[in-house]
Structure 1
Amino acid sequence: MAFRQRCSILNQRSVAQAGRMIVVACAILCSAFPIMTRAQLQTARVNQNTIKTVYIVPTSHYDFGFVDPPDAVRERAARHLDEVIRVAESDPDFRWTIESVWQVNEWLKRAKTPTSVLPNDNIKIERLVKLIKGGRIALSSAWGSMHTDFMGEEELNRVCYDYARLKRAYGVETEMAMMDDVPGHPSTVPSVLAGSGMRYLVTGANIFINVATSLAPGKVPFYWESPDGSRVLTWVSQSQRGGYPEAMTDFYLDPYSTDPYTGKTPYEMFNPNAGKKSDLQIMEQGVAELQKRYGEAGYQYDAVMTIYAHDFVEPTNVANLERAVKLWNSKHESPKLKIATPPEFFRYIEGKYASQIPTFRGEWSGLWSEAKTQSPQISALARYVHDHTPAAETLWSAISATRGIPFPAGNTATLYDLMFTYDEHSGAGNTGWPQLNDLGKLEEQNRQYVSYMQHAEKQADFLLDRGVQLLAQPSRDEAPQSLASSNVWPLLVYNALSWQRDDLVTVAAPAAGLKVVAIRRAGSQQSIPFDIDEEGRAVFVAHNLPSVGYAMFQLETAPGQMVSTLRDAPVGSQAENKHFRLRFRPDGSVQSIIALASRQEIVNDKGELPFNQLLRVEGQEPSAIAAPVPPAIKIKRGVRMTRVTITRERSAFPLTTFTIYDDLARVELHNEIDSAKLPFAGGKSWHDSYYFAFPFALGTQDLKVLRGGQKWFDRLPDDYLPGARRDSVTTQHLIGMSDDRAFVMLAHRQAFHFVFPSYVKARPSAKGAPAEFPAMFTGKWPLREATLYSRAFRRGNQADTHDLGVTNVMTVEPGLGQLYDFDYALNAATGKFDDVAAWRLGSEFNVPLRAMYVAVPPAALERSYFGVNQPNVEIVTVKQLADTTVHGEVSANPLNPRANQVFVIRLQEFAGHAATLQVATPVKVRAAALLNLTEDRVLENVTTLSPLIVKLRPYETVTLRIEVEPEI
């Protein structure tokens, strides 16, 4: 939603606060441009006059949710496209860009006729297809305007998949992606777009808070390049009035259409004291601003593009734009205004200036994904589904290849659609925008987001649990094995990751009234040491679990109860095993954590806040969390694990545990928040923000933040795009810090957003001190200490609704309860940052081993289905080939299921080193080829099949199609 109308509906307090933020943001944005010399100023004035053509791109921006619940927006978008078709067919000069593929999906669902069994209205569909093929309507290939930095690894790979499906079904084509409102994206996006066949990216960046990139407006378009060498020609329209509505709100190229939120023209909104002006005078003022903005920034080309959009606007507005363009062009020889689509502009610029267009690499996430911390439990569910959906489809690919059972493409398609819906830029449970939302719609929106992610979690777990059971199910040619004793319970432990690993297994007793007395690996008589935790579950470390495979274990039981093996350690403040030594203060704060293998201290005991302290920030000021009872520390030691428990009775932060295992090199940290006991948010802001502080014992010289993204680690600040925001990052599984002499790795499960020191205020101002600018605008690099602030959640207790006014809100996550869990894992070492160790720690912590009791053990007591032989490459997913899914085709022989023989293996090199890779598969491969990311183009045939050999460049994503010989 653009900022201009947002300001109009804020209350007076919020306006004042927002205004202060804008002033600072303006200062920062302006400071990104160097002071011009007299000669440069003269050049800038000349450049103002070099713009001969303004390409105006009409579109409509759709927020999924925001003003209506998501399901209502789906229906609204379908009606909107009906109107686009109607207007286009009545006006031969009409041009339009469909912003998101999801809009077409929803329209197609409703493009029905009532007279057939399979009621697609092919005549209606052909009308839209004809307009797209004719170039009058451009189609963005992106599913939506996404929080791309929050998206899952494989989910981001599929951001253009639904476009590719439309291309296969209807022959429509595009080379352009558009994502609006979100002010920036991670460095993985060019790799995904270029890999999907895209050449161009348009983003209307809303910079009403902070900045996007200083490359706009002077150095756009630019080739934005990923570390793997992939690139897309990128245009950024950025503005504090929204970016994407700039043709209306910044440049006044349509003096007739009104703002959808205020009913006024944008010129009236932003120039209330200007007096009466003619339509042409309004346009002349706007075009002068356009020329000034680009000229002063040193823009070099003779054409610019400006986006003509607003929230949920209809295509009938284009008639007003056409009227305005006709008026302007009749009175002015230069610049000429031209209504167009983005590909028309890009082709012109690239055709004339390709050799002059600069290339830039870098991360410039707009960090709007922080909004998803408003609903931390829904976001935690989403993150779970990000990881476990590819795990599930890989498991079912193994089952399909080895057992001839059809791949459940419908389940995975549903899961990705649910992920996309939440990960779109409006996706979060929240308290709404002040004075915009009706209370009933807001509550329904939050219910729907909870429902989406709960359903997704259940679907992913259903696929995984049923698939694991199926691994042990005897085939028709196998005789079921009998058990030696009724006290023996077969346990199948499944590893979803593509490397052999040692990791934790946690499993309850197989039945009530039984206790586990022994654990053995199947086929071995050697007992495995194990513990019973406080919840009565057996805990042990399984060693050498096969990659994307399983190993069988046997648990022996006896009548009785599972009694914890953890016993109180001698009174003291230190816990230790062969990997770590932990020391605590009496107040429960962490004094030291030493990784004994490297002798590296993890904790900076002199940081601005103690390690793992919960920080509350009201508005811009930190405040304390009440702790009525002094914390109590208990240290317990078991057979192979040690746990430190810190309890804070009657507190909103009631529990912390640190757990170390004799057979695992990581410290696990678990925090619990009782949100029912949190202070009421309000007074200084509608929301309070909560952080866990992690000060690390690293030097500030040469300090780098290692941002674990979907495909690689960005090294910050070196890998920022020029002028990008530097206050915080959203990461996938792990964030690290390194000073080139030592490094610390922090894996995270539910939390995902991290703020750097000086960009969040950690210590309160002195009483009576003057107000300060918000820390997010005044922070700076180099960082003053090696601290990460894990933004756990943003908390609001009131909604300022449009229909009822201020209303106290019970929850923005209905049905999910009041207890928040936040889990982390830590390790450290000396030397340079180890990308492989870090990637594996993050992945293993987020995709734990899956253990399940089965009726009988399978014939093979352990088996690997897929694997790779290089540590810097992972299998992201294994799936059915996209174009083998047939929709709407009735089978002539419905009793015979179709066996899958063609699969896709997605490979990712994540450490920046070329690799020659051997890929292991469960059945013989008879043909293989490299495809583009959307699987609709063969890049190269693979000739070495036995073994299957593939080469990867540094950071490359490889999509490998294999045709297999079924095992049965």
Structure 2
Amino acid sequence: IWQLENWLKRTDDKEQVRELIRLMKEGRIEVGASWDDHMTGFYGMEDVNRNFYYYKEIERKYGLDIKCFVMDDIPGYTWALPQAASGSGIKYFLTGINPLGDYWGAGTSIPVKDLPFWWTGPDGSKVLTWIDFSSYGAGRWHRGAGIWCFDAPSYEEMKKKVATQASKGYGKPRTLPSESALLKGEATVRPELVVEEYNRDAILVMHGGDCYTPTHAVRAVENIDRWNEEGNLPRIIIATPSMFFEHMQKRYGDKFVSYSGDWTEGWSSMKQVTYPAGTAAMRWARDHFTVAEKLCSLNSMLFGDEYPGKGFHEAYKLLLTWLDHTETINNPKQHPKEEVERDLRLRHSLVTGFYAKVRQFLSLGFEQFCSRIETEKPSIIVFNPLSWNRTDLVKVKLDKSILAKGFSLLDTITDKQVPYQKLPGEDSILFLADGVPSVGYKRYDLVVSEKGPSSSAISVEKGENTIENRFYRLTVDESTGFVRSIVEKETGRELVKKGTYQFNQFKQLSVAGAGVSTERPSNIVIEVQNGPVQRKIVVKRGEESLVPRCEYILYPGLKRIDVINYVRRRELRQQNSYYVIACPFNLDIERLEVKTEREYYFLPCSGENHLPGALKWLFYNQHAIGLNEGGGGDGYNLIVAPKQTYVNTFVGNSREQTRQWHPAEATWIMILAWGKKAYKTRDAGMIEPDWEPGSPELLTYEYSITTARGDFDPAKGYRFGWAFNVPLLAKQIGPQKGLLKNAVFSFFRPDKPNVAIVTVKRPESGDKGSLIVRLQEFCGKETTLKLETPFRVVEAIETDTVEESTGREVNLERLI
């Protein structure tokens, strides 16, 4: 859709536009429904939904019927795609995966005899799927090295190649490893070579390529026409993807094999490690995009403010374009230095542009919302954009005049004073807000004192290396600054395993077999900062350190451990090396199950809910990773929530056996970046460009940890991860008049813990009297829920993913 939209914007000839639309309506040209070819391991919950919004816009405008989405080159995809596609009215999925080498566990070992197959999503919805295992260029000549060579320079060459290929049959093995190697996942054979013959009456061969010109297509048409005119077999039909799928359904009905599961590839990791600053910006902006939508929707409904629907609509295109599967400009020998640097600037501007727009929408929306809340005193408004009541940390900037006089902070519901902590060098305080309602706000009053500034500052102690609260005791190694011990007080359990790695240890891993080099800290200074809200160990290292500062934080009122690492971006330069943070947990690897939060579900890393032969050694996460030791109700679980990263593995998983999950120990590896610095150009040879121009020198990497007795609960994992990544918003106001007079108020609340409100927005149609409330169940349980809201609901209709009515009414109980 990205290509079509840009062509329509740049084409002045209305007759050409009419001709294209006519051919599309006749089914002679087909455009896939996806915005772009995406590295879908990157997807968040809304990305996979919004990916299909733009095809629907084109479809409505021109009266089209788009049935298929196509993604090429990427050798694997997220399990969320069939659910999102089917929910958007899409029937078919076509992909030509890149078969060059193993690509870290690319693809799936689904046998060719099962093509096409129903790819079933987490909710049971499905799309009919064809994988061209020989790539999207299987029909290309490729200078005589192609498989079918439809566009060979001479017809005789094409005829010979097609006849030879057809005589082999489809799916017969050429070179086959041992059956035991295949079963163990040790072989790197391409799936189309494994083993049983195809027995349908048609196959689909993709004829495309990088930087493809019309010359190749015309030559292919001429060769194919001559082949068919001579009466040769098999007959070759130039067709759109939907024509092929419709033929198969007409011929075989719905009698196709079903496969359900994830097969996300290893490529997605390369986006993050190449662009770590962009990844961090994208993750923040994606999470807060829906926060801004909720605020602007409330302002529109409550106060009649203009809803910036067009701005939201256009902003998401920037993110979806940045998610394109290419990491760099292709074929570097063809491009001069200037073009390479321009490409990097443009790529980075997509994610920074999206980030800037989200900050703008969020700031304006929250400012307008807070200005309508009445208060007789200076107050702090705390807004919770998530869909459950929260007790969580708040950081808020205050007027200098209030800070100079001193004040107490009052909970307007309990009428009790709330402890707070001033932040050194800032005009801000921290406090713990209690019971902030779902998609709602709570007001705290500032009672100003004339006695001077309150005593709420932190104390700093040097020479100490331990902090504790009622939940944990954390000790840092004085010689390294890494964590020596974390003890959970309730169970007395030590969470840090002694061994090869230290906890929160920064490592540089060479992929060229050069061994492992470790960050060797020097000139370490450790200080403990104690305050009424936050207790922190700050580790400062020498200027030469890649990680000059890290912080370990506990809170008296929260059962969680926060870790912050500051990494020098320009020092991540060692070519072909990966930079990671290792956290060895004291958990029994033999009894450990790991689940990672994806778009709609928690995916077990061990293989359940994966397609056959899919990648397992790497895994991706949206916000939370659940580590469950034991089971049957008597287990022990630990949740990790990364903020700026999404690529993970465990010690023991290897790139040589990518389709296996076999960690040797419970050491979580958070992958940060790849030391990619050199690039070959046509005119300047090897250059070392700034891959993310204008990015800050210090990169921030944060994660949070919590623990509990019993088995891992996906609902708790989901809430923990989202709360850490989407903190409560806060702003000082008043005194002022306003339409909202309640001290605490909720606008939307689902009554089930396994269902979240993803977003609240105005419809894409522009209907000013309606709202879209997108709900998502993420524990894999069929659920009936009640959605409570104070708005007067006249009618509630279920819609699909792209906001078209399904015709089913929904009964909502209105909360007065």
CA contact (8 A) 1:446 1:812 kept: yes
CA contact (8 A) 2:567 2:698 kept: yes
Q: Secondary structure at the match of 1:435?
A: helix
1:491-520 deviation digits (Å, cap 9, x = unpaired): 211111111101111123323793454222
1:642 aligned residue? 535
1:105 aligned residue? 5
CA contact (8 A) 2:526 2:540 kept: yes
User: 2:765 matched to 1:871?
Assistant: no
Q: Secondary structure at the match of 2:356?
A: helix
Once the two structures are superposed, the pairs formed by residues 697-736 of structure 1 within 5 Å of their partners are 697-717=586-606, 718-736=608-626
1:825 aligned residue? 704
Q: What letter corresponds to residue 663 of structure 2 in structure 1?
A: L
CA contact (8 A) 1:431 1:799 kept: no
Q: What letter corresponds to residue 706 of structure 1 in structure 2?
A: K
Once the two structures are superposed, the pairs formed by residues 519-534 of structure 1 within 5 Å of their partners are 519-522=409-412, 525-534=415-424
Q: In structure 1, what is the Cα distance between the partners aligned to 2:215 and 2:747?
A: 56
167-176 vs 348-357, which moves further: 348-357
Corresponding residue to 1:435 among 333, 352, 357: 333
Deviation at 1:333, TM superposition (A): 4.2
Q: Secondary structure at the match of 1:128?
A: helix
Q: What letter corresponds to residue 733 of structure 2 in structure 1?
A: V
Deviation at 1:235, TM superposition (A): 0.9
Give TM-score, length-normalised by structure 1. 0.76
Deviation at 1:490, TM superposition (A): 2.0
CA contact (8 A) 2:140 2:209 kept: no
Deviation at 1:582, TM superposition (A): 1.4
| CA separation of 1:779 and 1:625: change in aligned 2, threshold 3 A | farther
Corresponding residue to 1:464 among 362, 366, 381: 362
1:249-293 deviation digits (Å, cap 9, x = unpaired): 5754335458xxxxxx9x9xxxxxxxxx84422333444466345
CA contact (8 A) 1:190 1:225 kept: yes
Deviation at 1:443, TM superposition (A): 1.4
Once the two structures are superposed, the pairs formed by residues 566-965 of structure 1 within 5 Å of their partners are 566-568=458-460, 571-586=463-478, 587-606=480-499, 608-620=500-512, 621-625=514-518, 627=520, 629-650=522-543, 651-678=545-572, 680-682=573-575, 687-717=576-606, 718-739=608-629, 740=631, 741-759=635-653, 775-777=655-657, 780-809=660-689, 811-857=690-736, 858=738, 859-884=741-766, 900-942=768-810, 944-947=811-814
Deviation at 1:192, TM superposition (A): 0.3
Deviation at 1:745, TM superposition (A): 1.0
Q: In structure 2, what is the Cα distance between the partners aligned to 1:151 and 1:869?
A: 27
| CA separation of 1:318 and 1:431: change in aligned 2, threshold 3 A | closer
Q: In structure 2, what is the Cα distance between the partners aligned to 1:708 and 1:451?
A: 28
CA contact (8 A) 2:653 2:662 kept: no
Percent sequence identity is 27
User: 2:141 matched to 1:253?
Assistant: no
1:311 aligned residue? 210
CA contact (8 A) 2:552 2:564 kept: yes
Q: What letter corresponds to residue 454 of structure 1 in structure 2?
A: T
Q: In structure 2, what is the Cα distance between the partners aligned to 1:724 and 1:134?
A: 38
CA contact (8 A) 1:602 1:744 kept: no
Q: Secondary structure at the match of 1:870?
A: coil
1:764-799 deviation digits (Å, cap 9, x = unpaired): xxxxxxxxxxx4447843322122211111122221
CA contact (8 A) 2:508 2:518 kept: yes
Q: Secondary structure at the match of 1:927?
A: coil
Deviation at 1:226, TM superposition (A): 1.4
| CA separation of 1:452 and 1:630: change in aligned 2, threshold 3 A | same
Q: What letter corresponds to residue 532 of structure 2 in structure 1?
A: V
Q: In structure 1, what is the Cα distance between the partners aligned to 2:2 and 2:565?
A: 37
Q: What letter corresponds to residue 429 of structure 2 in structure 1?
A: A
Corresponding residue to 2:241 among 342, 346, 356: 342
1:518 aligned residue? 408
| CA separation of 1:506 and 1:793: change in aligned 2, threshold 3 A | same
Q: What letter corresponds to residue 317 of structure 1 in structure 2?
A: H
| CA separation of 1:411 and 1:125: change in aligned 2, threshold 3 A | same
RMSD: 2.7
Q: Secondary structure at the match of 2:73?
A: coil
Deviation at 1:714, TM superposition (A): 0.7
CA contact (8 A) 1:746 1:825 kept: yes
Q: Secondary structure at the match of 2:72?
A: coil
CA contact (8 A) 2:464 2:526 kept: no
Q: In structure 1, what is the Cα distance between the partners aligned to 2:685 and 2:166?
A: 40
CA contact (8 A) 1:533 1:564 kept: no
CA contact (8 A) 2:789 2:814 kept: no
CA contact (8 A) 2:120 2:260 kept: yes
1:225-248 deviation digits (Å, cap 9, x = unpaired): 112111111111124xx4444554
CA contact (8 A) 1:600 1:829 kept: no
Q: In structure 2, what is the Cα distance between the partners aligned to 1:415 and 1:725?
A: 32
CA contact (8 A) 1:431 1:812 kept: no
Q: What letter corresponds to residue 444 of structure 1 in structure 2?
A: R
Q: Secondary structure at the match of 1:413?
A: helix
Q: Secondary structure at the match of 2:701?
A: strand
Q: In structure 2, what is the Cα distance between the partners aligned to 1:217 and 1:246?
A: 17
- Segments of structure 1 that go 5 or more residues without pairing to the other structure are 1-100, 114-120, 259-264, 268-276, 484-488, 761-774, 886-899, 949-966
Corresponding residue to 2:436 among 520, 528, 545: 545
CA contact (8 A) 2:329 2:343 kept: no
1:183 aligned residue? 75
Q: In structure 2, what is the Cα distance between the partners aligned to 1:533 and 1:290?
A: 71
Corresponding residue to 2:268 among 369, 374, 382: 369
Corresponding residue to 1:204 among 88, 91, 96: 96
Q: Secondary structure at the match of 2:794?
A: strand
Q: What letter corresponds to residue 850 of structure 1 in structure 2?
A: L
Corresponding residue to 1:322 among 197, 200, 221: 221
Q: Secondary structure at the match of 1:823?
A: strand
Once the two structures are superposed, the pairs formed by residues 244-283 of structure 1 within 5 Å of their partners are 244-249=137-142, 251-254=146-149, 256=151, 278-283=157-162
Q: In structure 2, what is the Cα distance between the partners aligned to 1:257 and 1:565?
A: 77
2:278 aligned residue? 378
Q: What letter corresponds to residue 328 of structure 1 in structure 2?
A: W
Q: In structure 2, what is the Cα distance between the partners aligned to 1:471 and 1:329?
A: 67
User: 2:127 matched to 1:232?
Assistant: yes
Once the two structures are superposed, the pairs formed by residues 57-136 of structure 1 within 5 Å of their partners are 101-112=1-12, 121=14, 123-136=15-28
Q: In structure 2, what is the Cα distance between the partners aligned to 1:604 and 1:289?
A: 55
Q: In structure 2, what is the Cα distance between the partners aligned to 1:356 and 1:655?
A: 60
Q: In structure 2, what is the Cα distance between the partners aligned to 1:149 and 1:939?
A: 33
**Alignment coverage as a number of residue pairs:** 776
1:394 aligned residue? 294
User: 2:258 matched to 1:359?
Assistant: yes
Q: What letter corresponds to residue 599 of structure 2 in structure 1?
A: Q
Deviation at 1:563, TM superposition (A): 8.6
Q: Secondary structure at the match of 1:698?
A: coil
| CA separation of 1:728 and 1:778: change in aligned 2, threshold 3 A | closer
Q: In structure 1, what is the Cα distance between the partners aligned to 2:252 and 2:492?
A: 56
CA contact (8 A) 1:382 1:422 kept: no
| CA separation of 1:407 and 1:708: change in aligned 2, threshold 3 A | same
CA contact (8 A) 1:603 1:697 kept: yes
Q: What letter corresponds to residue 577 of structure 1 in structure 2?
A: N
- Segments of structure 2 that go 5 or more residues without pairing to the other structure are 174-191
| CA separation of 1:344 and 1:569: change in aligned 2, threshold 3 A | same
CA contact (8 A) 1:203 1:244 kept: no
Q: Secondary structure at the match of 2:114?
A: coil
Q: Secondary structure at the match of 2:570?
A: helix
Q: In structure 2, what is the Cα distance between the partners aligned to 1:450 and 1:597?
A: 47
Q: In structure 2, what is the Cα distance between the partners aligned to 1:381 and 1:257?
A: 46
